[in-house]
Structure formats: C-alpha cells, structure tokens
C-alpha cells in the first residue's frame, strides 16, 4: 500500500478525535435543549468549551488538509457517489466551522457571559440584539439537525464503502 | 441518499436468482443487472444475499444512532418533562402573550448601583463583594405569566438584578417577596401550573385538581402555609426579596459555604392596606414604586445568610433555622425607573445560573430548571419580539411619574 491510499496519521487522529467530540456535542446539545433536570447545568457547562475546542481543531484541520491532502477516491466510484462524497465532506467542514461561531455569536447577541471554565470567558463577537439572537438561536438548532443528518449519512456511506463496495475508502481512514 | 439508491438497486438484484443461472431471454437483462450491481455497489466478492444482509446491517446501525438521538431529545418519551412541555404548561395556565416573559410577565425596569461593604469579601472572592460600586440593571415584577394582570397586595412580587462586574463577569439573580418557594422540583412546578390552569369548561381552575396536587406534594402544602403567614407590605419599595434557592460562596482559598441571600428594604416597612388599589389603578404597585424612585432613590441592604452543614440546600420549600450567621454585604440603590418598552432590562434574561467566579450553584435542582426554563422563555419572546404589544406599565406612565 502506498501512502496515497491512506490518510496520514495526523489526519486520522484529527478525524477520530473530532468525530467523538462532535457526536458528543450533538447529543449534549439535543439533550440540554430538552432538559429541565439538574443535568442541564452540567450539559451547558460542557457544551460551551467543547464547541470552542471543536472550532480550534477545525482550523487546525483545514490547515492540515492543505498540508496533507486526502487520498483520491477510487476511479471505480460512480460520479453520483463521487459528487455525494465531495458535497457531504464540504458540508461537514462548513458545519464544524460555522456551528461554534453561530453558538458564540448567539450567546453574544443574547448578552450572556460566554463562560469557558472558571474565570475564563470569551468576549462577545456580536452586539446585544434580541432579533439577532432569535435568528441565530433558530439557525443553531437548524444547523445542528443538518449536522446530525450529514454525519449519519457519512457514517452510512463509510459502512457502505467498507462492507459493500470494499474499495479501500473506509480503510483509508479506519486502519 | 446514497443508501436509498443502493437499496433500490438491491431490490433489482433480488430478481436475480443467482449469477449465471439466467434464462436465454433474461440473459441480456441479467448481464445489465450485473453491470449495474458492480457499478453501484462495487465489484467486491460479496454474494447477492450477503449484500442484502450487509445493507440491512448498515441501515440498522444508522437507525440505532438516529434512535438514540431522538431518545436524548425527548421525542420518544412523552412523559418526560422537557422545556417545550414546560412552556406549553405556561401557555395553558396563562394564555398566549407574544413577546412577554412566560413568568413574571408584568414588570418595570430600574437601574442604580450596588455599593459593597466589603464584609462578604472574606466569604466570596466575587468582585462584587470587594469594597466599591458596581452598576445594576434590575426589574420589578409580579409573579405569573399574565402581563396585564391587576396589581393586588397578595400577589407575589419579584426583584431581578444584573450586577455588571469588570472583565465581562456578571451576577444575575431573581428574588421573590416570599420566605420559601412553593415547590422543590421542576416536576412540582409543572404539576402546580397544570393544577392552577383554567378548566376549559368553566374558565376557572378546578379546585379538585389543586387539592389533588397538594395531596401529592405535601412540601408545597407546608410551604404555602409559611407563604400565607408572611407580612405583606404596602409596596415594592418596602418588600424584602429572598433568593429562595441556596447557592455557594467560594473564597480565595477555594473554601465554599452554603448561602441564601435577601434584599432587605431600608425604607420603613408599612403593612399593605386592606383596601383595594387606590382609585382603581390597575398598576398601583408599579406606579407607587415609580413615584417613590422619582422622589428619592430607594435602597435595600444585601443580607447574606450562611447555612450550616445540615441546612437543606436542595429544597427551596424548607426555611433555614433562625439564628444563622448573617453578613451585610452592601447596599443596593435604585435611582431610576423606566418602562420595559425601550428599557434596559427588557433584553436581559435574569438567568439564576449567570454567576461570577466566587458564587456557585448549590445542589438545588430548581436552579437548573429555572435556568433552562428562563432560556427557553427568552428564546420564545425573542422570536415574538416584533409582535409584542406595549407593556402594561408604559413609557408615558413612567414619564408622568407613575400616575396612570
């Protein structure tokens, strides 16, 4: 196997670390938005710093993608599946970049202090504005559902490559 | 998308008995199908049956993840108390009032400052307790979700405050003029809302439901007895407002103590008159407050009560024993009032979990419940902001010095 058929170690570490963080983030998000239980406070306290950590890792990952471009998809892949793969990856990158910013901006527009941990706080990135808050708050929810749906499709497609096409695409990231 | 397409082509595959057993007529079609199969599914050494099994497994794996997500989101548990169901209960109890807070809907904005005495600085490292002044934006309100209700002495009054501290830190607190809270859990609050909702048939709460609720919640029956016994004063300005929930003060060394706090009026206390509101003024409590602030700044002392090891911190229906150590942390001065419409408190959510370093939540489950419900209420009224009618206490009313 040449290095062309497999993601470099840095890319794989970034992918799997962020995969765990983002899946945790989506479950924490949907859970805390429904909860009035005493778990709510803890979930919110995790959600904020985890979101910022995902944002920082996302920036690193974008830089890494230029340094370590992903291996080419197999030539045998039909063009429709190729387009779906490219589009879903673009969506995933766009969402992991934009979601933390929408969250940060939404807390700014609501004038909530953006607490990371203990005394550590982030400055607001948008003015205190109720209309802006309402818009960003709904956008945050909408994008979260889109994010979850895209990850689900990504998960299904990875299994499809690994179990059915068996074309080495899953192995390029999973081994 | 991709998976559905595969399922469709596998359905086509189902017609293929097996590779190479096609009849003369089916030969061409069979070959095409085979090509289709290798095109969409790849040419891996997997039999048709195995493809179907594996597609099924992929579908099952995806469905499990989606199911777990739906479970966590509360969609599979109709009995679970969620933020949406709490908001629905407010709607049932009070009707729909677009753009208003779901609870404590009728209010007025105030502002001023807090001057710390420095005496609480040994208990909490929060900047607000160091000697000095911090600006405060507050809100006085009546409990309940009806923004145009008529003022009356026995209605629960509240004071919400936002202390703006250096370095982007803040302390927000909402307090009521009752000695204990009627419920000790989110479920208790929800059940009480349902029990006090008007019966669709009569338009009035059903006493039988309230009776059943109190029988199921003896802690509420006990708390209501204490609440009923409280001294009701003549107005907002001479009311004592209590935190009700316990918190923890953390000092510079990281040592924490349980606390509850109260805003105790400097203004002389006078009992509420038995007479109904003067000249039928629906807003007499607010108008009196506005007139008093216009005349002279109104003041409260922040009294912090330090709990002992056995004092309940997770049950807001239980008072702490008398004789606990108290610290006078400083004086709140309110020198300005304004209507909610255009006022500085309107776009503020007085979320009790917005705390500065040095003040931490206790194990009281109501703190999470309040924070979650306040945030959901804030989201809803932000969405409805463009359709909000003027508040009961208008800018003109404040301008006129409180005379409506």
Tens-place pLDDT, residues B349-365: 999 999 999 999 999 99
Domain boundaries, chain A: 3-174
* Reported pTM: 0.90
For the beta carbon of residue A140, count every other beta carbon within 10 angstroms.
18
CA distance B328 to chain A (A): 25
Domain identity same for B141 and B287: yes
Burial classification of residue B174, based on how many CB atoms lie within 10 Å of its CB (0-12 exposed, 13-18 middle, 19 or more buried): buried
CA distance A161 to chain B (A): 9
Q: Chain A, 144-173: which have a CB under 8 Å from a chain B CB?
A: 148, 152-153, 155-157, 159-160, 163-167
Given A40, A111, A124, which is nearest B371 (Cβ)?
A40
* CATH at residue B245: 2.40.180.10
Domain identity same for B126 and B268: yes
Burial classification of residue B44, based on how many CB atoms lie within 10 Å of its CB (0-12 exposed, 13-18 middle, 19 or more buried): middle
Label residue B33 by pLDDT band (50, 70, 90).
low
Q: Length of chain A, please? A: 175
Of A118-127, B222-231, B273-282, B309-318, least confident by mean pLDDT is B273-282
Is B55 in contact with A164 (Cβ distance < 8 A)? yes
Distance CA A87, CA B126 (A): 49
Residues B272-314 have pLDDT tens digits of 876 655 567 899 999 999 999 999 999 999 999 999 999 999 9
Q: Has residue B267 got a pLDDT over 80?
A: yes
Best mutation site among B184, B382, B384 for testing chain A: the one with the most A CBs within 10 Å?
B382
Distances (CA, A) of A36 to B182, B192, B329, B356, B366: 18, 16, 32, 22, 9
Any idea what DSSP says for residue B82?
A: B
Using an 8 Å CB-CB cutoff, list chain A residues near B385: 130-131, 134
Residue B404 lies in a domain: no
Residue B119 lies in a domain: yes
Asked if residues B7 and A164 have their Cβ atoms less than 8 Å apart, the reply is no
Residue B79 lies in a domain: no
Residue numbers of the domain that contains B52: 2-72
Using an 8 Å CB-CB cutoff, list chain B residues near A76: 42-43
Best mutation site among B9, B54, B73 for testing chain A: the one with the most A CBs within 10 Å?
B73
Domain identity same for B247 and B345: yes
Residue B77 lies in a domain: no
The nearest alpha carbon in chain A to B171 belongs to A113
Q: Has residue B17 got a pLDDT over 60?
A: no
SS3 B289: helix
Given A27, A84, A152, which is nearest B72 (Cβ)?
A27
| C-alpha triplet B337, B342, B343: angle, nearest 5° | 30
For the beta carbon of residue B403, count every other beta carbon within 10 angstroms.
11
Q: Has residue B12 got a pLDDT over 60?
A: no
State which of B72, B98, B125 marks the end of a domain: B72
State which of B19, B42, B72 marks the end of a domain: B72
Residue A108 CA, chain-centre distance (Å), reads 21
The mean pLDDT of B233-242, rounded to a whole number, is 97
A118, two tokens: 């203990």
Best mutation site among A115, A119, A141, A164 for testing chain B: the one with the most B CBs within 10 Å?
A164
Label residue B21 by pLDDT band (50, 70, 90).
very low
Domain identity same for B269 and B145: yes
Domain count, chain B: 2
Domain identity same for B31 and B134: no
Is B368 in contact with A164 (Cβ distance < 8 A)? no
Distance CA B379, CA A59 (A): 30
Distance CA B115, CA B305 (A): 18
SS3 B27: helix
Domain identity same for B23 and B139: no
Domain identity same for B67 and B95: no
Q: Has residue B19 got a pLDDT over 60?
A: no
Fold of domain A3-174: Fumarate Reductase Cytochrome B subunit (1.20.950)
Is A36 in contact with B368 (Cβ distance < 8 A)? yes
Q: Has residue B18 got a pLDDT over 50?
A: no
Convert chain A into a string of H (helix), E (strand) and C (coil): CCHHHCCCHHHHHHHHHHHHHHHHHHHHHHHHHHECCCHHHHHHHHHHHHHHHHHHHHHHHHHHHHHCCCCCCCCCCCHHHHHHHHHHHHHHHHHHHHHHHHHHHHHHHHCCCEEEECCEEECCCCCCCHHHHHHHHHHHHHHHHHHHHHHHHHHHHHHHHHHHHCCCHHHHHHC
Any idea what DSSP says for residue B344?
A: T
Catalytic residue, from B104, B217, B296, B336: name it.
Answer: B104
Question: What pLDDT is attached to residue B279?
Answer: 63
Label residue A4 by pLDDT band (50, 70, 90).
low
Q: Chain A, 14-43: which have a CB under 8 Å from a chain B CB?
A: 26-27, 30-41
Residue B126 CA, chain-centre distance (Å), reads 24
Domain identity same for B318 and B212: yes
CA distance B357 to chain A (A): 6
Residue B338 β-bridge partners:
B109
**Catalytic residue list contains B97:** no
Q: Chain A, 75-94: which have a CB under 8 Å from a chain B CB?
A: 76, 78, 80-81, 84
Domain identity same for B194 and B64: no
Domain identity same for B219 and B286: yes
Residue B260 lies in a domain: yes
Q: Has residue B30 got a pLDDT over 90?
A: no
Residue with tokens 């419409």: B341
Asked if residues A26 and B69 have their Cβ atoms less than 8 Å apart, the reply is yes
């Amino acid at each position: 196997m040449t290095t062309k058929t497999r993601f470099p170690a840095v890319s794989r570490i970034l992918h799997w670390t962020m995969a765990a963080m983002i899946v945790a983030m989506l479950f924490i998000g949907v859970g805390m938005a429904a909860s009035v239980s005493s778990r709510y406070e803890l979930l919110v306290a995790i959600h904020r710093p985890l979101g910022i950590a995902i944002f920082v890792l996302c920036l690193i990952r974008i830089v890494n993608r230029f340094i370590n471009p992903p291996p080419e998809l197999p030539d045998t892949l039909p063009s429709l599946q190729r387009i779906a793969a490219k589009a879903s990856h673009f969506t995933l990158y766009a969402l992991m970049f934009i979601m933390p910013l929408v969250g940060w901006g939404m807390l700014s527009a609501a004038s909530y202090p953006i607490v990371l941990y203990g005394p550590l706080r982030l400055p607001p990135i948008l003015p205190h504005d109720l209309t802006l808050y309402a818009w960003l708050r709904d956008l945050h929810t909408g994008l979260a559902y889109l994010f979850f749906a895209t990850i689900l499709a990504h998960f299904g497609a990875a299994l499809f490559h690994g179990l059915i096409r068996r074309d080495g695409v899953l192995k390029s990231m999973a081994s | 998308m991709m998976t559905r397409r595969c399922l469709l082509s596998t359905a086509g595959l189902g017609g293929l008995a097996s590779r190479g057993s096609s009849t003369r007529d089916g030969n061409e079609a069979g070959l095409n199908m085979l090509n289709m199969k290798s095109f969409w599914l790849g040419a891996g050494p997997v039999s048709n049956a195995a493809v179907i099994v594996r597609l099924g497994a992929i579908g099952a794996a995806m469905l499990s993840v989606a199911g777990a997500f739906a479970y966590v989101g509360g969609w599979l548990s109709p009995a679970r108390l969620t933020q949406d169901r709490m908001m629905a209960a407010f709607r049932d109890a009070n009707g729909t009032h677009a753009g208003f807070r779901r609870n404590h809907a009728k209010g007025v904005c105030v502002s001023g400052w807090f001057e710390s005495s420095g005496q609480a600085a040994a208990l909490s490292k929060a900047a607000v307790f160091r000697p000095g002044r911090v600006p405060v934006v507050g809100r006085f309100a009546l409990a309940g979700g009806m923004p145009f209700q008529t003022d009356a002495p026995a209605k629960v009054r509240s004071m919400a405050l936002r202390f703006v501290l250096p370095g982007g830190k803040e302390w927000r607190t909402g307090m009521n003029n009752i000695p204990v809270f009627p419920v000790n859990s989110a479920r208790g609050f929800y059940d009480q809302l349902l029990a006090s909702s008007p019966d669709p048939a009569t338009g009035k709460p059903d006493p039988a439901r309230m009776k059943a609720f109190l029988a199921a919640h003896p802690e509420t029956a006990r708390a209501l007895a204490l609440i009923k016994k409280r001294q009701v004063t003549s107005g907002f300005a001479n009311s004592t407002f209590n935190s009700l929930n316990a918190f923890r003060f953390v000092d510079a060394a990281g040592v924490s103590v349980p606390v509850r706090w109260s805003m105790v009026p400097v203004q002389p206390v006078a009992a509420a008159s038995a007479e109904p509101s003067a000249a039928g003024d629906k807003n007499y409590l607010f108008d009196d407050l506005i007139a008093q602030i216009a005349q002279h700044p109104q003041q409260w002392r922040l009294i912090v009560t330090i709990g002992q090891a056995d004092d309940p911190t997770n049950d807001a229906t239980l008072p702490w024993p008398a004789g606990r150590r108290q610290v006078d942390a400083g004086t709140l001065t309110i020198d300005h009032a304004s209507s909610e419409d255009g006022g500085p408190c309107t776009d503020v959510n007085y979320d009790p979990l917005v705390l500065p370093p040095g003040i931490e939540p206790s194990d009281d489950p109501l703190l999470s419940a309040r924070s979650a419900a306040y945030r959901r209420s804030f989201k809803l009224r932000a969405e409805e902001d463009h359709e909000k009618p003027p508040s009961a206490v208008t800018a003109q009313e404040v301008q006129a010095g409180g005379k409506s």
